[in-house]
């Protein structure tokens, strides 16, 4: 079968049911022969390679320009496949898997000797998850191997939620992308370390802290409060990098008293200085003003619906970038439920945070 290519990267159209099976078979063969393939998950697109092969995994780091000390998540189809990757599975891992797998929860466990050092960046632990996307599961199943996969973007830029985003960043740098349309969740998985008791939240994501606490009925240490500023050696290497950022500087205006006024004052100040700012606003705030017709504005959903905002976040940042704005002003949301993951990403992307008056810092 001939597939379309962009700069030598194959485009495998898996949303077309007539071609999905062949597309998956092609992607699986690439994984089995040591290549790298981007594929959709429910959170964001991942860039996959055989987790057991040091040379294959090294290609992921090269394609993304990813620092070698940032470990990868290994994707599997279920707990049976986790067994060979880890030294032990604590009972709370079974409980969490029962509730949240397949789904956007990544568990950090003590690793076995099966995986090469490059996959876990030399750590003695491994992060594992079962993605909740039929194409991701079909691909892992067909390849019959554990798939190491970070988000399929250039290191530091917003994660991809469409095959188009993957192509924009990685065409010519990877073997293929399995095109499965838009991702449903839009932000990455929650990363929870089970290496110690109580468990430690390393990254808020698709499964909320509130839901984890309800299921575990025990405390969880939240290392990500207030954007997760970590001093010294971070327990999860990914915490220390600037992340998820568009090329334009991002100014985040925190939720709180006078937020709308603070956004408009900032906008006017930047315009007065001859700059071209773009805005990322909720429906409520955008509705309170009228903007000129070609104004670079992304309306990402209601303040009451952070799940929709999460799904649109990275696409909105990429579109504002493509409009060549000088600065992106982003409206902050409440830091609860899915808003926690959203604000974590925005804080990491931000060059400046305009704090709410009376905020407890
Ligand atoms: O939703 C997701 O998690 C997506 C999709 C593709 O599954 N993947 C993803 O991967 O976001 P990545 O590489 O962009 O983020 C993985 C995060 C990083 O912050 C990394 O430091 C952390 O997980 N991590 C991986 N292995 C770890 C380990 N052994 N200990 C602590 N943190 C780890
Ligand atoms: Mg990433």
Q: Which of the 8 DSSP states describes residue 133?
A: -
Which ligand 1 atom is nearest residue 191's CA?
A: 23
Ligand 1 in reach of 203 Cβ (< 6 A): yes
* pLDDT tens-place values along the chain, 361 residues long: 789 999 999 999 999 889 999 999 999 999 999 999 999 999 999 999 999 999 999 999 999 999 999 999 999 999 999 999 999 999 999 999 999 999 999 999 999 999 999 999 999 999 999 999 999 999 999 999 999 999 999 999 999 999 999 999 999 999 999 999 999 999 999 999 999 999 999 999 999 999 999 999 999 999 887 554 444 556 777 776 667 888 999 999 999 999 999 999 999 999 999 999 999 999 999 999 899 989 999 999 999 999 999 999 999 999 999 999 999 999 999 999 999 999 999 999 999 999 988 665 5
List the one residue out of 231, 224, 257 whose CA is nearest residue 346: 224
Residues with Cβ within 8 Å of 33's Cβ and at least 6 positions away in sequence, in order, are none
Nearest CA to ligand 1 atom 18: 238
Nearest CA to ligand 1 atom 15: 150
Every domain of the chain and the residues it spans? 5-225, 250-354
Give pLDDT, residue 239.
73
Ligand 1 in reach of 117 Cβ (< 6 A): no
| Count of helix runs (H) and strand runs (E) in the chain | 11, 17
- 320 membership: H or E segment, kind and range: helix 306-322
Which ligand 1 atom is nearest residue 72's CA?
A: 25
Q: 302 C-alpha vs ligand 1 centroid, how far in Å?
A: 28
Report the residue among 65, 110, 150, 244 best suited for mutation to probe ligand 1: largest number of ligand atoms under 8 A from its CB. Answer: 150
Nearest CA to ligand 1 atom 33: 236
Angle of CA points 235, 240, 246, to nearest 5°:
140
Which ligand 1 atom is nearest residue 203's CA?
A: 19
Give pLDDT, residue 305.
97
Give pLDDT, residue 245.
84
| Calpha distance 172→63 (Å, rounded) | 9
| Calpha distance 144→167 (Å, rounded) | 26
Q: Which ligand is nearest to the CA of 187?
A: 1
Q: 261 C-alpha vs ligand 2 centroid, how far in Å?
A: 33
Beta-strand ranges (E) seen in the chain are 5-6, 9-13, 37-39, 46-50, 73-75, 105-110, 125-129, 147-148, 176-179, 190-193, 200-203, 221-222, 250-253, 277-281, 297-299, 327-331, 352-354
List the one residue out of 344, 358, 359, 330 whose CA is nearest residue 263: 330
Ligand 1 in reach of 204 Cβ (< 6 A): no
| Calpha distance 312→330 (Å, rounded) | 13
How would DSSP label each residue in 35-57? --EEE--SSS-EEEEETT-HHHH
Ligand 1 in reach of 152 Cβ (< 6 A): no
Which ligand 1 atom is nearest residue 70's CA?
A: 21
Q: Which ligand is nearest to the CA of 156?
A: 2
Q: 233 C-alpha vs ligand 2 centroid, how far in Å?
A: 19
- 319 membership: H or E segment, kind and range: helix 306-322
Q: Which ligand is nearest to the CA of 244?
A: 2
Q: Which CATH architecture has domain 250-354?
A: 3-Layer(aba) Sandwich (3.40)
Ligand 1 in reach of 223 Cβ (< 6 A): no
Which numeric CATH code is attached to 5-225?
3.90.870.10
Ligand 1 in reach of 332 Cβ (< 6 A): no
| Calpha distance 139→169 (Å, rounded) | 22
């Amino acid at each position: 079968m001939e597939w379309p290519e962009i700069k030598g990267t194959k485009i495998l159209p898996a949303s077309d049911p007539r071609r999905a099976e062949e597309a998956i078979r092609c992607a699986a063969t690439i994984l089995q022969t040591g290549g790298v393939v981007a594929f959709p998950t429910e959170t964001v697109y991942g860039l996959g390679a055989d987790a057991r092969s040091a040379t294959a995994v090294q290609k992921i780091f090269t394609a993304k320009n990813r620092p070698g000390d940032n470990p990868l998540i290994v994707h599997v189809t279920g707990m049976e496949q986790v067994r060979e990757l880890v030294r032990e599975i604590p009972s709370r891992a079974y409980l969490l898997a029962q509730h949240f797998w397949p789904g956007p929860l990544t568990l950090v466990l003590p690793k076995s000797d099966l995986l090469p050092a490059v996959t876990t960046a030399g750590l003695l632990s491994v992060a594992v998850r079962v993605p909740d996307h039929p194409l991701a599961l079909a691909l892992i199943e067909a390849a019959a191997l554990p798939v190491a996969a970070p988000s399929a973007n250039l290191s530091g830029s917003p994660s991809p939620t469409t095959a188009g985003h993957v192509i924009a960043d990685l065409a010519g740098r990877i073997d293929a992308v399995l095109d499965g349309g838009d991702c449903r969740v839009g932000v990455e998985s929650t990363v929870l370390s089970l290496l110690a008791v109580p468990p430690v939240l390393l990254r808020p994501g698709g499964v909320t802290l509130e839901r984890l606490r309800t299921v575990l009925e025990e405390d969880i240490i939240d290392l990500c409060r207030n954007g997760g500023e970590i001093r010294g050696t971070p327990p999860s290497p990914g915490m220390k990098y600037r992340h998820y950022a568009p090329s334009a500087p991002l100014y985040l205006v925190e939720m709180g008293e006078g937020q709308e006024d603070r956004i408009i004052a900032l906008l006017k100040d930047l315009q007065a200085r001859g700059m071209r700012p773009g805005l990322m606003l909720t429906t409520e705030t955008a509705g309170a003003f009228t903007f000129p017709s070609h104004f670079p504005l992304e309306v990402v959903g209601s303040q009451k619906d952070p799940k929709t905002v999460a799904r649109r976040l990275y696409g909105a940042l990429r579109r504002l970038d493509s409009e060549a704005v000088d600065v992106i002003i982003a409206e902050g949301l409440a830091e609860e439920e899915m808003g926690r993951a959203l604000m974590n990403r925005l804080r990491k992307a931000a060059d400046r945070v305009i704090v709410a008056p009376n905020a407890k810092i």
